[in-house]
Amino acid sequence: MDRTAQLTARPPQPENAYDPPPSGPALHVRAARVLDANWTGGSTVPSRNLYPHQWSWDSAFIAIGLRHVSPLRAQTELETLLAAQWADGRVPHIVFNPSVPLDAYFPSPDFWRSATAGHRAGAPRTVQTSGIVQPPVHALAAWLVHRADPVLSRARGFLARVHPRLAAWHRYLLHRRDLGGGGLVSVVHPWEQGMDNSPCWDAPLARITPAPARSFRRADLDHGAPQDRPTDLDYGRYVRLAADYRDRGYADGGGEFAVEDPAFNALLIASEHALARIAEELGAAGTARHARAERLTAALVERLWEPAAGMFLCRDLRGEGLIGERGVSGLVPLLLPGLPRDIAAALVRTVRGPHFSLGDRTRLVPSYDLLGEAFDPHRYWRGPAWFNTSWLLERGLRTHGERERADALREAVLRLADATGFAEYVDPYTGEACGATGFSWTAALTLDLHKELLKHTGQGVSPTGTGTFDRSDKGGDRR
């Protein structure tokens, strides 16, 4: 079996993957090969075995990397996802490939029953999807993809076609998911936030009665080490929440789980700024969207900033307010250029401090507090470091003038992606690979940071210098 389709098996003794990788084809060549291997003709699977369908925020990150090797494929990636959008505006977190057997992934299409259970919410009839969503990275991705090859984008009418769908997606979130009434978007399932089993969800999930173990079969354990994956108890609660949401016809507002998450809202703010630039490119005014992004940033600070923790925290709308657990989600708002200077400085201190120890004990940003009682260096989002969150924080550090630290994080991402065969996630201390190898967003974001490295070292196009949302080249293959 091709290594890019295999899952890692951990050795008896952890290996330090920060050591120099073996020689071979150039890094960007091997990253592009991973994306080629995972390409299905209209979209890219995150992993051939573990995740054999199209995932929403994965596709956004994948498009950001694909733009450097094939802007056309990057555009197609987003167009395929948005073609499965529901009439109420939601972009589903999974678009199912009908050629994949039902037992290859759980929850499968027959669990979600999108066309019937989602009928009132406007689920599409011609494609099967899940009924929940994922973080809204899509407008940011679309803008960066356009910037990679504006000539091709304009010739194909790319932005003109995706803009209405992106605008509807944001309307859904802003109007239907402000469950706390404070202006921020809420997630109604841990899978929506993307950091599935983060300890930040332990308290809200403790209220949920899990589905009986005999009522479902986990396909992920056929491919992943059980010690790297969420527990059966967690999964039982995920299934219960998803089934209850489905049985309500995917109507928002009545569930037992409702959390305002800092990363989800920060990515919406970033995409609001990007959507403003897309509107301006199409000849419309972007002022209202920029203003909305500023209001959302103020709401984010008001509702989720915790000075004593030096970071943003999640707010449990069905419980006791702010959740005291420190997850990487609370650092992601560093991405935002409009963040108050003192808050940005505090976030930098926190990411370098003992709870995350970036640049000291860790080279990539761990997904959870190193000092937290629930920390586990191998179990999914309970401690391992992920490449997409480190990519977001690299941008955040650079946005707020932390160039040397951003350079160090970029170098660590590239070195570790290379050494682990583009692993899904890694032990934050040793860099040991966990989950799948040949993981698509790892390969894609490696391509993006590799391109940036060439630009910063003078071997490529110089940076535009216009902020977080313009860091892209204009060249590329038009396949």
Model pTM? 0.90
Catalogue the active-site residues. 196, 424
| Alpha helical stretches, state H, 177-231 | 190-193, 202-206
By DSSP bridging, strand 385-386 and strand 321-322 are: unpaired
Q: Distances from the Cα of 150 to the Cαs of 60, 303, 467, 478, in angstroms?
A: 18, 38, 18, 11
What is the full per-residue pLDDT of the chain (479 aa) written as tens digits?
333 333 334 433 444 555 555 556 899 999 999 999 999 999 999 999 889 999 999 999 999 999 999 999 999 999 999 999 999 999 999 999 999 999 888 899 999 999 999 999 999 999 999 999 999 999 999 999 999 999 999 999 999 999 999 999 999 999 999 999 999 999 999 999 999 999 999 999 999 999 887 776 656 655 566 666 678 888 899 999 999 999 999 999 889 999 999 999 999 999 999 999 999 999 999 999 999 999 999 999 999 999 999 999 999 999 879 999 999 999 999 999 999 999 999 999 999 999 999 999 999 999 999 999 999 999 999 999 999 999 999 999 999 999 999 999 999 999 999 999 999 999 999 999 999 999 999 999 999 999 989 887 754 322 223 233 333 333 333 33
Asked whether the beta carbons of 92 and 169 are under 8 A apart, the reply is: no
Cα 269 from Cα 336, distance rounded (Å): 8
By DSSP bridging, strand 186-187 and strand 94-95 are: unpaired
> Which runs of E-coded beta strand occur in 165-280?
186-187, 259-260
Contacts of 191 (CB under 8 A, 6+ apart): 93, 132, 134, 238, 242
